Amino acid sequence: MKEIAPVQNDNIPPDASLTETLARVACLRDYEVRARQLLPRAIWSYLQCGAADGITSRWNEQALQDLPLWPRMLRGVANGSTALELLGRHHASPILIAPMAYHALAHRYGELATSQAAGAMQTGLVVSTQSSVSLEEVARNAHAPLWFQLYIQPHREITLDLIGRAERAGYQALVVTVDAPIQGLRNADQRAGFQLPPEARPVNLEPYAQQLNRTGAVEPGQSVFRHPLVAAMPDWASLAWLVRQTSLPVLVKGLIHPGDVEPALDCGIDGIIVSNHGGRMLDGVPATVHVLPGIVAAVGQRVPVLVDGGIRRGTDIIKCLARGADAVLVGRPVLHGLAVAGSTGVAHVLHLLRTELEMGMVLCGAASIADIRELGLLDSRMHDGGAVHAAAR
């Protein structure tokens, strides 16, 4: 991997003290520590917290840490590559930036800085419906593959307009998030008194403000079942309708149960993203790396399967790919890098992950993404103590 230099263009000036920052940051966890020191408590809470008690958010990371890798020896890996084809397009690595709202909470240039770093590192970026920079402005300044994350809106004409805007701006795919019809229980936000500051607004939705004039809060004495957002929840027919409205590939994000695979495929979708929303919606659901094999088996190679949740190391990516994922999405660490060092921080986060991925592949004897899937690097027969002892003999 080439050395990372400060990323800059005519619109975004470089951040100060980057050389010292990059020299002292060794891994993604270092960025997390620095971001927590820099950001106001309420903003840190919003960016970092999981739903309720944060159990699923912790499980996502712990599950990856608990999976052992079983490397293969004496395999030639010279001239190896992390490249892959995804939805008919070349990607330099199986890493994409997950859709996340309001990057302006982490840095004044928000998604512009993130997209700049994505371009520098040839990394796909999924832009959120709730981005703090318009989807059109991100596209005008981007040099990376762009996908647009979409929530199905309660008014079909708004959904259609958002799809049309993404198509005209040059986005290459739509990612429809289905696991967040209402906001999760964010106790940490409540305790910290978080409120969106003026610079972090859902600018993509502002043209529809009058039609979307509703609150996400449940009033005292009100049943959640009677909330307007619940009444307007999309269903499988809504997803099938959406797929028919666009020529872009459509991925569905938020599936964790194998029983949801066939209904999704029946809608004509082009890919599945296994996700529990980073543990930010429903607490207590399993870690994504645990449910991934079930989804992969149900899909049966009919469409690509991607996964997010808890990825903090290049070896985490190897584990996800070994369990059947075609690619991964990385979320919170991107915002940590953005908060610490702007676009260069994001580029450095991606650089660290890509370098760790390549090092892990070399040490595992995998010269390609296909090798990771085929070499038995997470051989389930090795997971119990007896098998381990027998293998040692």
pLDDT tens digit sequence for 368-388: 999 999 999 997 554 444 343
Is 171 among the annotated ligand-binding positions?
A: no
Tokens of 125: 């970026």
277 is catalytic: yes
Flag whether 227 is in a domain. no
Tokens of 151: 């929530």
Catalytic residue among 103, 277, 290, 348: 277
pLDDT at 381: 59
pLDDT at 229: 79
pLDDT tens digit sequence for 343-376: 999 999 999 999 999 999 999 999 999 999 999 9
pLDDT tens digit sequence for 124-140: 999 999 999 999 999 99
Reply yes or no on whether the pLDDT at 141 is more than 80.
yes
Residue 382 or 64, more confident:
64
Is 246 among the annotated ligand-binding positions?
A: no
Is 381 among the annotated ligand-binding positions?
A: no
Tokens of 357: 């991925």
Flag whether 381 is in a domain. no
pLDDT at 125: 98
Q: How far apart are CA 46 and CA 93, in angstroms?
A: 29
pLDDT tens digit sequence for 252-272: 999 999 999 999 999 999 999
| Residue ranges making up the domain that contains 138 | 25-68+83-206+233-375
Is 247 among the annotated ligand-binding positions?
A: no
CA nearest to 342, candidates 31, 3, 60, 1:
31
pLDDT tens digit sequence for 280-305: 999 999 999 999 999 999 999 999 99
pLDDT at 380: 58
Is 131 among the annotated ligand-binding positions?
A: no
Reply yes or no on whether the pLDDT at 8 is more than 60.
no
Reply yes or no on whether the pLDDT at 203 is more than 90.
yes
First to last CA, the chain: 39
Is 290 among the annotated ligand-binding positions?
A: no
Split into its structural domains, the chain has a count of 1
The CATH code of the domain that includes 367 is: 3.20.20.70
pLDDT at 216: 62
Q: Are strands 84-86 and 89-91 parallel, antiparallel or unpaired?
A: antiparallel
Is 208 among the annotated ligand-binding positions?
A: no
Single-letter residue type at 383: H
Flag whether 39 is in a domain. yes
Is 119 among the annotated ligand-binding positions?
A: no
Q: What is the mean pLDDT of residues 231-260?
A: 96
Is 315 among the annotated ligand-binding positions?
A: no
Coil, strand or helix at 259? helix
Is 168 among the annotated ligand-binding positions?
A: no
Flag whether 313 is in a domain. yes
Flag whether 160 is in a domain. yes
pLDDT at 215: 57
Q: What is the mean pLDDT of residues 245-255?
A: 98
pLDDT at 225: 87
pLDDT at 267: 98
- 8 Å CB contact between 190 and 46: no
pLDDT tens digit sequence for 301-310: 999 999 999 9
Reply yes or no on whether the pLDDT at 9 is more than 80.
no
Q: Which of 17-26, 34-43, 307-316, 317-326 has the lowest mean pLDDT?
A: 17-26
Flag whether 197 is in a domain. yes
pLDDT at 219: 72
Flag whether 267 is in a domain. yes
**pLDDT mean across residues, the chain:** 91
Is 16 among the annotated ligand-binding positions?
A: no
Is 312 among the annotated ligand-binding positions?
A: yes
pLDDT tens digit sequence for 77-124: 999 999 999 999 999 999 999 999 999 999 999 999 999 999 999 999
Flag whether 271 is in a domain. yes
Reply yes or no on whether the pLDDT at 245 is more than 80.
yes
Single-letter residue type at 348: H
